[in-house]
Structure 1
C-alpha cells in the first residue's frame, strides 16, 4: 500500500512536469510562429506531436508553417490531423487543405474540400472559380505537353529563383551564401537571405558559373526579382525594407518587402532609391515592365488588396515620377496569392497564383494584356506547372525559350530554376475583320468609327475603316464580341459574333443606313423607314401599341412633308380564302388610314386598300408548302408615296 502510494505520487509528479514542459514548449513555439520563424516553430511543434500531444491550435499552426513555406505535402499531414480532430474549421483551412492534398495528387479529396470551402466561404472568388470550372483538370490537361524543360544548371542546395535576362546574362536570386564570413539566417526558411547573382547565357544555352552582383545592390537582407529597361540603364528589384544602413519595420516590428530602383553609372549599379508607393506597413515586390516601359506591374498586399497578395500597376510619368498604383481587379486577383508577374514582348501577362483551380500550390497562368479585359486567363499546363509551387516564368517571344522556378520534388535545392522551350503556343487568337458599306447602295464607307465590345459591352478597342471600307481587330477564340460602326450622316449599326475556338480569321460586315433618306413618288416608306410587319391581333383590324410605334414613323414624315400623299396597301399570306383575306386586309388598311387621320393627317392625303393574297412576293400560294418565315414575308404593309406636290 505504501509502495503503491509512493509510486503513484512519483508518476503524478512526472506527468505534471511533462504537461508543464509541453505547455511551455507550445508557448515558445507560438512566439516563434508569430515572428514568422516558421522553421523554428515546426521543430518545436513536431517534437510535441511525436510525443502524442494533440491540440487543434497546434495542428493549425503546424499545417500553416509548412503551407507558408510551400511544403504542401507535409502541410497535408497536419491539416489531415486537424480535420480528424475537428471537421468544423474556418473556410480558409478547407482551401489550404485542398491545396495541400493536390501536392500529394489526391485531387478527388482536394475537390471535395473545395466544394466545402465554396459552401462555407460564401462569396469567395476562389470558390466561385472552382464551382464554375469543375472540369479544370481536363482543361489543364489539354493545355499541357507544350514545353520541354530541364534543370538550368546553376542551382544550389539552397533557394534559387526569380530570374531576369539582362545583357546576355541570367540575373537571379539565391540563398547560397551571403558573401561574408558570418551568415545571417532568415528564420522563416532557416536559410541565408537571398542576394542577386549573374550567370552568362552561352550560345548553346548553357549557363556559366554564377557570380554575386556588387554590394551596392546586394545587402545583408533579401534581394530578388529584378527587371531591366531595354536600354540596360535602369533596374527595378525587390529588397527588404532596408536602405542606406537603415531598417524599416511595420507595427509588429517585421521587416517587409519594398521595390527599389537603381541606375547604371560607369558600369556599376548605383543611386538606389525606394519607390514612393512603398510602405513600412505592407509589402511591394516582384516588378515587371510593360512593353512600352511606361507602366510598372508588381505584387502587393497594400490596402485595397482582394486577398493575400494582388497584382497592381502604376504609371511611370514622363518626368520619372509615379502615379497612384491601381489594382488589376477581380478578374485577375482572388482571395489567394497573385504574384510574380511577367510581361512578354507580345503583350502577354504571365503570373503565378494559388487562387484558381490548378495542379497545386502556385501555378503559372497567362492572359492577354491587351486592353486589360482578362477574359481568357489560362493555366499553361504541365510540365511548367506541377503539384508544387511554380512561379517566376519568363519567356523570349522570338526564341520561345525561357526560365521558371519550382520547388517540385527531384530538384537540387529548396527552389530551383528550370529552363524550357515552348514547342506549341497556348493562346488561340483570331483576327476579326469586316467591310463597312451603305445599306442602300452597297457603296464602301471609309473612315467609319468601329468599336469592339466584350460580351458585357465593355469597350475593348476603337479603330476606323480604311479607304477600302475594311476594319480589323485581334480577338481571342471562343469569346463573344459586339462590333459597332458609326459615321456622321449614318445611323449606328451594331452586330454580335461568337469567335470559333480555333486560330484563324472571322468576318463580320456591317451596313450603315443613312440618317437622311431621299424619297420620291413611288417610294415605299415602310422600306425607307425600316418598318417591320404592322401586327394585328388574329382576325382583328384595330391598331395595337406595337403597331402604333411603327406608324408614328410614317406620321412624322408626313407632318414634316405637308404636301406628301400616300397610298396605304395591306397584304396577307395565302392561308384562309381569297375573299376572307381581301376583306381582312382592306379593313386593316382602312384602320391604318383612320389612325393617321386621328393623329392630324388630312383625309385627302391618304388612300387605303387591301389586296389580300393577290400580290405575293414569293411562291407561297395556295397549296404550296412554305415555312412560317416565308409566309411572314407576304404579310406586309406598304406606304407608297403617290404625290409630293
Structure 2
C-alpha cells in the first residue's frame, strides 16, 4: 500500500486546537455554562454563532441556556435549529418537546416526544406536572452527575463537605477523642464537630483529624465556609460562646453563626455575628464569589414559612448589613436550607417545598444579567433521591464536589457523597514543520463532522498549538492547510472514550513545499516489515522511481531521508532499527546512481514521530502499526 508524503492516517483518538479568539470565546462560554451562569454564557454563544464558529454546538448550548433561564420562547427557536442538525444527540428531540410544552404548544410537543421515542429515547415517569417545570425536565434529560466513593464517612452523621486548598472540611458526629462530648437527644448521636480529610479516599479520619483551634465545642459545630483568601471561617454552632449556653424563654438553644480567623495554623478569635439571636436559628453559612455577601438559613419571624434562605452584605469594615430574605422564587412555605454559592455566584440549596423526588432535594438557581434569581432547577438523580439530600458543594472547576444524603446504602445516618460531572471533551495538538521541527503558526485546521460538513475553522497559535471542544460518541475529520506546506487530513472518533478522559492529543507534521512547482506529492514513503530494515519489493519499486526522478526529471533536486519505527519494542532498540532503515535506504539510492551530495541527511527517529495514536496505549491492527514503519523523503531544494 502506498501513502502520500502527507500521509492520510487512520482513526486516531481526538483533536484539540488553540484556535485564536473564537476558541477562547467558546471556552469561556462553556465554563460559564458549566457553572450555571447561563445569561453570560448565552451572550458568548450568540457571538460564536455570528462568527460562524462551531455553530452547531453553540446553537445547542444556546438553546439549553435559554431553557435554563426559563425562557421557553427563545429556547424553542434554537431547539428548532438544533433538531435539524444531521447528527444532533437525540435528547434534543426531548428538550425541544419540553420547551414546546413550556409555550403550551402541546400538539407539537407530542410530535417531538414521539420522534424521541422512535429514535430510541426512553421517557422517564414525569414527576413535574406544571408547565413551568419544563426547565427541570430538560436539565435532567441526560445524566450529568456521577457519584464517586468517599471513604471518611462514619456510622454516625457526616455532612457539609467543603473543599479548600486541597483539604476537605466536614461536620460529623463521630465520637472520637472527646470524653465530655454531649449526646444530642434528637437522634441519640454525639454533637457535631468539624473534621478534615486530605482527599476523597482518606479513610484515616480520627480525633487527630479534628480542625485545629477553638472551633469545636461540646455542642453542635458545623457546617462551615471559608473566605477566598483562606483566612476567615464562618460556621454554625449552637448558641454557645465563652462557655455560656444561650436559650430562649422556652429553654431552647438555637443555632448561631460564628466567625473565626486562622493564626499559625489554628482557627481562633471566635466571635458571634451581630445579626444572631437567641430566639431563632441562623446557620449553614455560605459566601459568594467575592466574599461580599454571606448567605445563611434562618427560621426568623417574617419569612415564607419553615426555614428560609437569607443573605447579609459584608461591609468593607467587616460589619454586616441587615438580613435580606431571598424571596418567593427560592423560599416556600416549607423548608429551604444549606445554601451554597459557586464561583459564578450561582446559588444552590436544599428544599422540601419545591417539586422534588423525595424529602429534601437539592436545587440550583438561574439568575439574569443583574444577578436576580429567575428560576430554580431540581438537580435530578443521582444527586437527589427519595430521601433527604442536602449540603451541596461544587469546586471552582464546576465539575466535582460533594453533597450529603440519608439515602439507603450509606454507612451511617447521613453520609457524604462525592460527584463528578462529565467534563467537556477537548482535542489538542501541535503542528510542526517536518524539515525544521519548528512549530507552524497560523495554520488553518478545519473540523468536519462524519459527513464532511464543516463545523469550525481554527487557527494555530504562535506555538503551533490548536484546541477545540468536541462532542463525545461522534466521528470527526480534521483538515490542515498552510501556505507553502502540503495539506494533511485525519479522521478521528470520540466513540468509546471514557468519561474520565478530558482531552486527546493529535499532532501533525507538515511537509514544506520548496517551490510552487515542486511535485512533492510524487515522493512517496516506503514501508518495512516488523523488526526488519530490508528494502521490500514494493519499496524497491518506489526507490527506483525516485532514482529516475532525481537523475532525469529533476537533476537539481536535493533530499533528506527520515526513517521511523512503530512503538513496539524498547525505544533504544527502535532508535537503532530506524537508523538501519535510513542507512539501507541511503545505500540503495547511492548504489543506483544518486550522487551522495544530493542527500543531505539520512537519520532515524525511532518511535518519536508516530503518524497515528498507536503508541502502546491501545490495541492497533498490523496495518496501523505498518504506517509507522516507514522512510520518508523530504525535498530540501530543487535548484
Is TM-score (shorter-chain normalized) higher than 0.5?
A: no
Q: Provide the TM-score with structure 1 as the length reference.
A: 0.44
Q: Which one has the bigger helix percentage?
A: 1
Mark the structure with the bigger radius of gyration: 1
Q: Provide the TM-score with structure 2 as the length reference.
A: 0.44
Give the structure, 1 or 2, with the largest relative contact order (CA under 8 Å, sep 6 or more). Answer: 2
